[in-house]
Amino acid sequence: MSQMIFRVLGPLSVEDRGCCRTPTAAKQRQVLVLLLLKANSVVPLPQFVEELWEGTPPARAIAALHTYVMQLRKALEQLRLPDGSGGRLLTRKGGYELVVKPGELDLDVFEHRVRAALAVRDTALRAHGLREALRLWSAPALVDVVAGPILRAAITLLQRKQLDAISHRIEADLELGRHHELIGELTALVHHHRTHEEFTAQLMLALYRSGRQVDALAAFHRLRKAVAEDSGGALSRRLHELYTNILSADATLDPPSSTRSRLSLDMVVPMAV
């Protein structure tokens, strides 16, 4: 894979052999991000206009856009393609296209690593692969970019992809019997994502497996209250079944057999000496 030079999983960053090439002007940054999130595809002019001016473009919006692209092209002119075939920012019929090669955009690398990890049958390797993918996130996606309507929707999707990867990684860690270690992380995730069912379900399971049945049931009630306040909706059947199984101490909720002996030792209270 090529050296990564475009980063969107955190602050926007453009690097070339260790040199920062990140544009500083707000409009140029918006244009660049829109191109990056649709890399190797033509972004039509109307999408740039909608993103930059949110439905109220100035009289000379297209001329202004051409200026931003020209300035951006100058900023990126040092970023030659690996084969030396020319510039990256191309003018196409009705729009613009940014050429990005495999391995040059952290988002592409993240998605590749997640797909590869989820295809692995070995649970420990799957957890490791997902953890390595998540290391690419240094902060919330595009945290320092002023976003219009198109980028706001795109950032929301990126955040969902990150949370999905976290959830898959936690699922693998639960399969490995790491419920004790996960409680702190899951508590924080549930605090920041009050209506996220999967995180609450995972927290309930981790708490139950750690001998904290009452706390596991309380997590369910907090989620139900949060969902009711947020949307007036109801919890899924799966959450209700998990609640019932915790109440009845259903054996299907027990940790993997390879970790049960360790669980019993963890819960022994040391004798005073």
Helix or strand or coil: residue 125? helix
Looking from the CA of 210 toward its CB, the CA atoms found within 13 Å total 18
Instruction: Tell me phi and psi for residue 186, to 5 degrees.
Output: -65, -35
| Mean pLDDT to the nearest integer, 104-123 | 97
Which one has a higher pLDDT value, 23 or 76? Answer: 23
Rounded distance, CA 67 to CA 61, Å? 10
3-state secondary structure of 117: helix
What does the alpha-carbon distance between residue 244 and residue 250 come to, in Å, rounded to a whole number? 8
Question: Residue 82 gets which letter from DSSP?
Answer: T
Q: How much is the pTM?
A: 0.89
Nearest to 154 by CA among 170, 134, 140: 140
Residue 57 CB partners (closer than 8 Å, separation 6+): 49
Q: How far is CA 199 from CA 60, 73, 95, 170, 254, in A?
A: 48, 43, 41, 9, 18
pLDDT at 245: 97
Mean pLDDT of the chain: 91
Give φ, ψ of 41 to 5 degrees: -130, 155
Tokens matching residue 31: 């244009």
More confident call, 115 vs 83: 115
pLDDT digits (tens, 9 = 90+) for 135-146: 999 999 999 999
